[in-house]
Amino acid sequence: MSTLINEHVWHNAIEKLTPEEKHILINKGTERPFSSALVFNKEDGIYKCKLCGSHLFASKSKFESHSGWPSFDDAINEAVREIPDKDGVRTEIVCAKCGGHLGHVFKGEGMTAKNTRYCVNSLSLNFDKQNANTPNEKEAYFAGGCFWGVEYYLEKLDGVKDVVSGYMGGVKENPTYKDVSSGNTGHLEVVKVIYDPAKISYETLAKAFFEIHDPTQTNGQGPDVGEQYLSAVFTSDEKEKEIINNLIDILKQKDYKVATKVYDIKPFYEAEDYHQDYYTKHNKIPYCHGYIKKF
Ligand SMILES: [Zn+2]
């Protein structure tokens, strides 16, 4: 009956639920309409799963459906799973992370432009005003030699959504791999890391970056010698710059002669398709990078 994913993982969280919440989230009950102030809530924020805390709906997707239950016309990317209801008619929605029951989704009613109504029990939700302005996606830029290897390792970190190989730092617009390999464009092989700041901090990412390459090599990385393989971080703001400089200071205190340069962000040019996910596509392990604990 329950769709909970790995029930014993959520054991402690389930114990904290009230009998009414348990009735909804675990036993797929439905609360009475207009039973909660959340129905009328118009504040900016994030609606999270009461059982596991996963971010489910943004306030900008909430609309007044007059149904008596909080209604949204969109869910946060991949946060909500749709399954056929056991009544054979409706489509049930559950939290994609924990499997907790949320309510139902109705399509084609024409209530909003998105033509979708996620009808959610208030008791399945926690509203968090604090998260209203926290972006759930940020970008970081690192150069640590051949981008295939840097991409391979950073992509494995929890909270990293995607890593894209490309070029940054030179003057030529839209450089090709051939341009950059010639070594005269000023570009470095750079990876763009797209991450969720709620799950992994910039500092944790930066530490990993320093630990998967050798920041003391002055002429490239491993066997790859040339200016496009130099170690560098491109920072987007003063805060990132401070974090990087601080980590470099820590490494220097540990006698690493750090050669990593810190630059302000410049235009990022995505590398050709065949460079993306190179090691994964070719089922190989990087030869020029490896993890060494330094912090
Ligand atoms: Zn959940």
pLDDT tens for each residue of the chain, 295 residues long: 567 776 777 888 899 999 999 999 999 999 999 999 999 999 989 999 999 989 999 999 999 999 999 999 999 988 999 999 999 999 999 999 899 999 999 999 999 999 999 999 999 999 998 665 556 788 999 999 998 889 999 999 999 989 999 999 998 888 999 999 887 899 999 999 999 988 999 999 999 999 999 999 999 998 899 999 999 999 988 899 999 999 999 999 999 999 999 999 988 999 988 888 888 788 887 878 888 999 9
Token pair listed for 204: 């944790």
- Determine whether 146 is an active site residue: yes
| Catalytic, out of 49, 52, 98, 146 | 146
Q: Is this model's pTM higher than 0.85 or not?
A: no
Domain with CATH 3.30.1060.10 in the chain: 138-281
Which residues are within 5 Å of ligand 1 (an ion), measured at CB?
Answer: 49, 51-52, 54, 95, 97-98, 100
Q: How far is ligand 1, taken at its centre, from the CA of residue 76, in Å? A: 13
CATH architecture assigned to 138-281: 2-Layer Sandwich (3.30)
Instruction: Take residue 238 and report the two structure tokens written for it.
Output: 């003063």
Dihedral pair phi/psi, residue 77, rounded to 5°: -35, 115
288 catalytic? Reply is: no
Q: By the 8 A CB rule, do 55 and 136 touch?
A: yes
Residue type for position 186: G
* CA dist., res. 141 & res. 86, Å (int): 47
CA of 122 to the centre of ligand 1 (A): 14
Give the distance (Å) from ligand 1 centre to CA of residue 244. 35
- 235 CA to centre of ligand 1 in angstroms: 34
To the nearest 10 degrees (0 to 180), the angle between helices 202-212 and 238-253 is 40
Element containing residue 231 per DSSP (H, E): strand 231-235
CA of 126 to the centre of ligand 1 (A): 11
Q: How many CA atoms lie within 13 A of 267 on its CB side?
A: 8
Distance, CA of 59 to CA of 148 (rounded, Å): 39
The answer to whether 47 and 56 are in contact (CB under 8 A) is yes
From 49, 52, 95, 119, active-site residue: 119
Backbone torsions φ then ψ of 278, nearest 5 degrees: -55, -50
Q: Does domain 7-133 have CATH number 3.30.420.40?
A: no
CATH 2.170.150.20 residue spans of the chain: 7-133
